[in-house]
Amino acid sequence: MSGRAEWHTTTSAAADRGTRFHAAIAGYVSDGIIHDGEDDIAALLVHARAYVDDLRREWGPFTRLFAEVSFAWSHTLDEGFRLPLLSNPRDYSQAGAGRFAGTADIVAIECNGTKRAYVADWKTGDGSNAGPQLRALALMVARAHGLDVVTVEALEVSDMGVRPVCREELDAFALDAIAGELGEAIHEINAAEPRPGPHCGELYCPARASCPAGKEAAEQLVPVTSLTYRMSTDVQSGEHAAWMLDRVRLVEAACKQVKDAIKEACPEGGWALDDGSKLSEGSRTVTRFDKGKAVDLCKSLGATDEQLAGLEYIARESSGMRLAQPGKRARR
């Protein structure tokens, strides 16, 4: 097999916006400066900055405020510690095997002997399910600094302001209970089986690409049989990449067919599920991209013909992964 392959990398605009907001407000918490406040996050930063200023006043001069701090906790010793400062605060390789790790967006620790702290997590979307995450972070912070009380909350930030949700004040007894629950859950990991659910898509799961349940479902849709290759994130060669890409497309097509069948079978009003939730068809409005309006806007902002030609070139080149064979039309 021969040809030329082009890989097109895509990212979620909402995720990118959230990442840039987190980085900008972390800079403000750390040194009082907004290093990057692009227009699409400017309103978020105005509200978040005001909230941070209020937080400093509320906790007083004897409080140290930190941003993007990573911690780890050992369930066998019930001990926590702060991870070294790294260029990537979410690099948990320093935590060591068998330890639970996480990163807090904001940590405020009183330095006047009261042994209490505040832990918060910014949410540019829905933060109503942040309770378990916040309680785990509270435990790690408490054990790392020898604290008795930790206040936690998720901060939903939007163009309208900051809305605290999932606020709890966890005392020593609550922290001990969290340690017990986490320890039991960790002990069960070796015998645990993955259970797909709404958390797979509605919450961020970094393991879903390699989840055994997901792999099993994909194999049921499109069985993969080959003596030479296997599906893997370890790409061995161009031929291996092309072979996997063909099967990825088959899986995607099969998944679409399954989703269409579910949609067709769904009764009016949806299905009431055993856990009390409801499965029904939703809808959303997506603004369609208008090339002509985009070009007119670029011109009004002073774009030259050469710059517009460069945009045309980028649009043609960013067309996804495709395989082109001599004498044949490119296969996408």
Q: Are residues 180 and 146 in the same domain?
A: yes
- The pairing of strands 149-158 and 116-123 is parallel
Query: 264: which DSSP letter?
Result: H
Domain-located, residue 326: no
**pTM above the 0.95 mark?**
no
Report the pLDDT value the prediction gives residue 9, as an integer from 0 to 100.
Answer: 46
Say whether both 19 and 163 belong to one domain: yes
pLDDT at 200: 66
219 found inside a domain: yes
> Is-contact 108 58, C-beta < 8 A?
no
**Rounded Cα distance, 149 and 110, in Å:** 11
Tell me if 302 is assigned to some domain: no
Q: Which two tokens stand for residue 3?
A: 């040809």
Residue 227: C-alpha distances to residues 23, 231, 238 (Å): 46, 12, 17
Tally the C-alpha atoms within 13 A of residue 258's C-alpha that lie toward its C-beta. Answer: 11
First to last CA, the chain: 15
Q: Is residue 24 part of a domain?
A: yes
Tokens representing 109?
A: 């620790």
Residues 218 and 108 in one domain: no
Strand (E) positions, the chain? 4-5, 63-74, 79-82, 99-110, 116-123, 149-158, 161-170, 271-272, 278-279, 323-324
Q: Let me know whether 70 and 143 are in one domain.
A: yes
Examine residue 286 and state whether it is found in any structural domain, yes or no: no
The CA distances from residue 199 to 104, 128, 157, 196, 208, in Å, are 21, 13, 22, 7, 10
Residues 208 and 85 in one domain: no
Distance in angstroms (rounded) separating the CA atoms of residues 168 and 180: 18
The domain boundary, picked from 152, 173, 191, lies at 191
Distance CA 319, CA 332 (A): 9
Partners of 157 in the β-ladder: 162
Q: Please indicate, yes or no, if residue 299 is contained in any of the structural domains.
A: no
Last residue of a domain, one of 239, 267, 295: 267
Residues 96 and 178 occupy one common structural domain:
yes
Structural domain including 238 reads 199-267
- CB-based contact 118:106 (threshold 8 Å): yes
* Tens-digit pLDDT string for the chain (332 aa): 334 444 444 456 778 888 889 989 999 998 888 877 788 899 999 999 999 999 999 888 778 889 999 999 998 899 998 988 765 666 777 777 778 889 999 999 987 778 889 999 999 988 888 999 999 999 999 999 999 999 999 999 999 999 999 999 999 999 999 999 988 888 777 666 767 666 666 555 666 666 777 666 766 766 666 667 777 778 888 888 888 888 888 778 778 888 888 888 888 888 888 877 788 877 666 567 777 888 888 888 888 888 877 776 555 554 455 555 555 554 45
CATH code assigned at 36: 3.90.320
Q: Which residues pair with 151 in a beta bridge?
A: 118, 169
For residues 134 and 249, state if they share a domain. Answer: no
| The pLDDT of residue 317 | 52
Q: What angle do CA 104, 108, 113 make, to 5 degrees?
A: 135
Q: Are residues 51 and 178 in the same domain?
A: yes
Sheet holding 63-74, edge to edge: 79-82, 63-74, 99-110, 116-123, 149-158, 161-170
| Dist. CA 250–CA 222, nearest whole Å | 7
Number of domains in the chain: 2
Task: Tell me if 243 is assigned to some domain.
Answer: yes
- In this structure, the answer to whether residues 172 and 208 fall within a common structural domain is no
In this structure, what token pair is assigned to residue 116? 């209490």
- Residues 230, 160, single domain; the answer is no
Q: Among residues 191, 221, 256, which one ends one of the domains?
A: 191
Residues 186 and 207 in one domain: no
Q: Do both 27 and 147 map to the same domain?
A: yes
Mapping DSSP to helix (H, G, I), strand (E, B) and coil, where does residue 38 land? coil
- Decide if 315 is inside a domain: no
| Three-class secondary structure of residue 74 per DSSP | strand
**Distance (Å, whole) CA 319 – CA 105:** 36
